[in-house]
Chains A and B, each alone.
Chain A
Amino acid sequence: MKKENKLKLILKAIFTDMFIWVYISGSVSFLINHWFEVTIPGLHIVIYGSVVGVILMICGISVGRKMFLSTKRINKKWYKTFWGWSVVLILFITFIVGWILVEVNPYKFFTKFTNTSGIMSGIFNPNLDILIVSLTALAETIYLALLATIFAIPFAFILSFFAARNLMPKTLIGNLVYIIIRTFATVFRSIEAIVWAIIFSVWVGIGPFAGMLALMIHSIAALTKLYSEQIENIDYGPVEAIKATGANTLQIWVFGVIPQIISPFLAFTIYRWDINVRMATIVGFVGGGGIGLLLLQQQQLLRWHNVGMIIWLIAVVVWIMDMVSAKVREKLRGM
């Protein structure tokens, strides 16, 4: 048993060192290629890196050995050790490669501010003529966010009970239901609303309906997670007490669980609407309709004064939503 463990640790250490040195040799090759235009074949990179990693591991001075196999506590300062300098090398190389890949250019940042004059003048002189058109689009956005939230509530509400660890029986079926719902919620949530919007704008055509569907799917997943976590945090005592009165499972949920979660649920839902209004703007960019679509059109036509108008309206709405939802949530907390 102990021997197996030791072997596992040695393997982990070797793989760590190989990974580190393949990464370092890969990064160095990238830099050589970038500066001197000499290409090093991929196979060589892997071989050199692995060999260096294994040798250093055998010599006993590598990072992998320090992480997995160092048993004695040696009070050597890190800058007197080889692994310490390896870490510095990794960080340094990562920074250099990152700088090149991201095309960081401070010169442009400090000298090309004047390029924004169009947008800036637009923001400070918004075109009031498109106020009505913009407000119409904005209403579309707010309503689509609202409907997405409302449609998401019943789905998330019911699913959340089955995704709560403390309510699901510890049987095979109970665990299976829990895991399936949780997994779906996580996967659907990790797919951004903007991706859903692309899918639905193909499915039902460009417009607010596609945006609403996108936000709805995302909201169901997000609310299921939030709701079920709230259920997992309830005081289990009352649930037990109601069980002891001879109530059935549904009664236990309705009388033991729901009264405890109703106000946090409302708070989460309002918060979600708030998020959805903000997301609806972005979703509009890819065919979700509303103010986002208008903003995209005006930006592509370079009508900066119209863009300015729209930006102001979005800012005001987001600000108001933020304030109202914070106030309501504060009130709910006391309930």
Chain B
Amino acid sequence: MKNIIEIKNLHKVYTGGTQALKGINLNVKEGEFCILLGLSGSGKTTFLRCLNRLIEPTSGEIIIDGENVIAAKGQKLRLIRRKIGMIFQQFNLIKNLSSLTNVLTGKLGYSSLLHSVVFSKNEKDVRIAMENLNRVSLKDLAENKIKNLSGGQQQRVAIARALMQNPKVILADEPVASLDPATADSVMKYLGDLNKKDKITIICSLHFLSLARKYGTRVVALKDGEIVFDGTPKEIDKKRFKEIYGEDAEEVEIR
């Protein structure tokens, strides 16, 4: 399998001097489900956001699907972003619009300026949006406003929105951190499904080791902006766990 993501010596220093990333080197192969572990503040969110330049990296090189992300500007950057779906901890949907409209916004990178500014709904796009909503089992709630949906349902709408982009890669920034364990597992199940059936490469930061073992094909752990572990989920034993999370940490089982 070829590398779909190649990261070389990625640094991020925030104004104020905080070194969030201290030289990350990482290659991700096509079709991997890569779990990011690490304490809050270890740089997971910064890392994920650097990949689609929601945060500007300070230095380094990022190649995604053969395209230089850091050098890209304007239209070029938007075309790269189009290939990268993103899922957020807080879902980041527009709360007073319907699920369907929210899903349709995933297609914006494909539509012409004029077409998208007028709120008209392209018939073909609507059909694809309904298919994607169906994929996350939310077809019946297409016309419901987001604010009337539960957390798990909202995250599934967000997944459907990412699917509209026809993405090669999905970046998921703690997608289940604000959900209960049972809902968390069901949301992860949809992500796992996209990974297996659609061969979408996924990088997903998590806090639950049990979910990492269940869905991840690879685990990368960050600590203070550096990679401290890179291997398979099975390799994480008690000792490794303490290396990542510190001496005092105990694994809490979540089922």
- Chain A positions within 8 Å of B, measured between CB atoms, are 235, 237-238, 240-248, 250-251, 254-256, 259-260, 263, 335
Contacts and interface: CB of A to CB of B under 8 A. Distances in A.
A314 B98 CA distance: 43
A230 to B, nearest CB: 14
B109 interface: yes
B155 interface: no
B165 A246 contact: yes
A139 to B, nearest CB: 35
Given A245-B105, A246-B109, A251-B113, A259 B96 contact: yes
Interface residues of B, number: 34
A244 B86 CA distance: 7
Contacts of A335: 96
B93 A255 contact: no
Contact of B92 (A241, A246, A251): A241
Contacts of A255: 94, 105, 108, 116
A245 B81 contact: yes
B165 A245 contact: yes
Q: Across the A-B interface, give the 8 residue pairs with the lowest CB-CB distance, nearest first.
A: A246-B109, A246-B82, A237-B92, A241-B92, A247-B108, A246-B81, A244-B86, A246-B78
Contacts of B78: 246-248
Given A241-B88, A244-B52, A251 B108 contact: yes
B249 interface: no
Contacts of B79: 246
Taking chain A's interface residues, is the majority helix, strand, or loop, or is none over half, making it mixed? helix
B81 A244 contact: yes
Nearest to B102: A238
Interface string B167-210: 00000000000000000000000000000000000000000000
A244 B109 CA distance: 9
Contacts of A260: 94-96
A237 B164 CA distance: 18
Given A251-B116, A251-B117, A254-B117, A244 B54 contact: yes
Contacts of A235: 92, 95
B59 interface: no
B228 interface: no
Interface in B71-112: 75, 78-86, 88, 90-97, 105-110
B165 A259 contact: no
B12 interface: no
B161 interface: yes
A250 to B, nearest CB: 6
10 contacts: A237-B92, A240-B88, A244-B54, A245-B108, A246-B80, A248-B113, A251-B108, A254-B116, A256-B105, A259-B96
A240 B92 contact: yes
Given A245-B82, A246-B108, A247-B109, A259 B117 contact: no
B217 to A, nearest CB: 24
A153 B137 CA distance: 42
Contacts of B161: 241, 245
Nearest to B74: A248
Contact of A250 (B85, B107, B110, B117): B117
A238 B82 contact: no
Nearest to A237: B92
Contacts of B75: 248
B108 A242 contact: yes
B117 A256 contact: no
A260 B80 CA distance: 27
Contacts of B165: 245-246
Nearest to B79: A246
B113 A250 contact: yes
A248 B114 CA distance: 12
A263 B92 CA distance: 19
Contacts of B107: 245
B118 to A, nearest CB: 9
Given A251-B113, A254-B116, A255-B105, A244 B84 contact: yes
Contact of A247 (B86, B91, B105): B105
A235 B95 CA distance: 10
Contacts of B84: 244
Contact of B109 (A238, A245, A259): A245
Contacts of A254: 116-117
A259 B91 CA distance: 16
Contacts of A238: 92-94
B86 A259 contact: no
Contacts of B86: 241, 244-245
A242 B107 CA distance: 10
A244 B165 CA distance: 10
B96 A242 contact: no
A175 to B, nearest CB: 15
Contacts of B52: 244
A256 B101 CA distance: 11
Max chain B C-beta neighbours (<10 A), residue from A235, A244, A250, A260: A244
Interface in B113-131: 113, 116-117
B93 A240 contact: no
Contacts of A248: 75, 78, 113
B113 A242 contact: no
B179 to A, nearest CB: 16
A256 B95 CA distance: 11
